[in-house]
Amino acid sequence: MKIKTICCIGAGYVGGPTMAVVAQKCPNIKVTIVDINASRIAAWNDNDLNKLPVFEPGLDVVVKEARGRNLFFSTDIDKAIDEADMIFISVNTPTKTYGKGKGMAADLKYIELCARQIARVAKQDKIVVEKSTLPVRTASAIKNILENTGNGVRFQILSNPEFLAEGTAVEDLLKPDRVLIGGDNSEEGQKAINALVDVYANWVPNERILTTNVWSSELSKLTANAFLAQRVSSINAMSVICEKTGADINEVSKAIGMDSRIGSKFLKASVGFGGSCFQKDILNLVYIAKTYGLNEVADYWEQVILINDYQKNRFSDNIVSTLYNTVSGKKIAFFGWAFKKNTNDTRESAAIKVADNLLNEQAEIDVYDPKVNTERIYADLDYLNTRSSEQNRKLLKGQSSPYEAAKDSHAIAVLTEWDEFKTYDWQKIYDNMHKPAFVFDGRGILDIKLLEKIGFLCYKIGSGAKV
């Protein structure tokens, strides 16, 4: 089967970049990305490519080349489903906040709504591809909904999880480590798998396209994120010991990273990991383990989350204790709000938790992030429901300049590893702060010796240095 038209339901951080690259590399395939969020679709269609709703280096170039040629963004979901040979489901699967599995299980209501809409609209056979990160055996639920509509349409369900790192998503899509496709072992299932393989084969070498059964594909995504998060929590746990003993976590990381059995990636100590995937997927894995009565397995993976939360709380506690055990009425500048550099995604950002803790202590916070607007920051805090919206807006302000954010502040907390933070005139920043002036480097990116020479009192995670 040769794919001529693709529909992707969901125009977010996964669906948008993924389908843009597919369109760029497959000019003979019509790719339509649909979403119920009209303002998001309008932003994807905006002539000003700086207004794309997703910021990723290089994404604007990809969109510019393909948009209007064979890449389209629309709110007409029914039409796109009807015309498509292959439908990607790339909607949000947040952790449940209610009912059974609250706080751990994935909320699949958006996946089910997509499946029911596809079943209602489809008039001919379709290949449906899970792109969202999903629990094992979700494909069977989707298949059950699609095959019991009574309209005679036949569906094949594939699992094609994304392995993108936000901030390098376009590069990851253009040169992936691997593309994973899971499907049925039946003849029709294999044809569907081959159809998707042929799409990726337009730019991905065959040896990097891995095919499995659908259950292995679904579980592989959860496992990959769990392993990566585990490494971050492991090195962060060691950073605490470094601070107590006088060791330097950067030196420890380098030493163990040179062991070929371990490798150097994901051994950077920090204030904690964030993003939409790590915590959600580990909690999902914990829930699956508990569902099968594997409590020891669940406890093991849950500890990865507990260490991450501990690291965030430890960072904010250190700010309070250093500032003479009170931050009430003191201004603290946040450099960064996104969960990592080169993205405007703030989901589960360490900055949110650190800010929440400090605001509970009546601190005043000014935030500067080059890609995150103030309304997004307020939305993140309001979602926690710790304080009223009015209190959040009274205590926290967004600034368009790092110098304005730092002016008259008592301390600076670095929460995102934006490269530009290294290039600032730190003497100018110091001159306009209250003295003593503190810097808490939660990402380990600044030249501490230079800052100390200027006059700053500095703390860097895992350095053993004391402010």
What distance in Å separates the CA atoms of residue 410 and residue 330, rounded to the nearest whole number?
A: 6
Q: What is the DSSP letter of 200?
A: H
Half-sphere exposure of 127 (CA within 13 A, CB side): 28
Helix (H) or strand (E) holding 25: helix 15-25
Is 124 in contact with 86 (CB distance < 8 Å)?
no
Phi/psi-derived region of residue 464, left when phi > 0, alpha when psi is between -120 and 50, beta in every other case: left
CB atoms within 10 A of CB 306: 11
Residues sharing a CB contact under 8 Å with residue 180, sequence separation 6 or more, in sequence order: 159, 160, 161, 163, 210, 211, 212, 217, 220, 221
CB atoms within 10 A of CB 117: 15
Active site residue 242: no
Q: 7, 114, 277, 458: which is the annotated catalytic residue?
A: 277
What distance in Å separates the CA atoms of residue 215 and residue 161, rounded to the nearest whole number?
A: 12
What distance in Å separates the CA atoms of residue 55 and residue 344, rounded to the nearest whole number?
A: 6
CA 162 remoteness from chain centre: 12
φ and ψ at 128, to 5 degrees? Answer: -110, 125
DSSP output for 102-114: TTTSB--HHHHHH
The separation between the first and the last C-alpha atoms of the chain, rounded to the nearest angstrom, is 65
User: Residues with catalytic annotation?
Assistant: 277
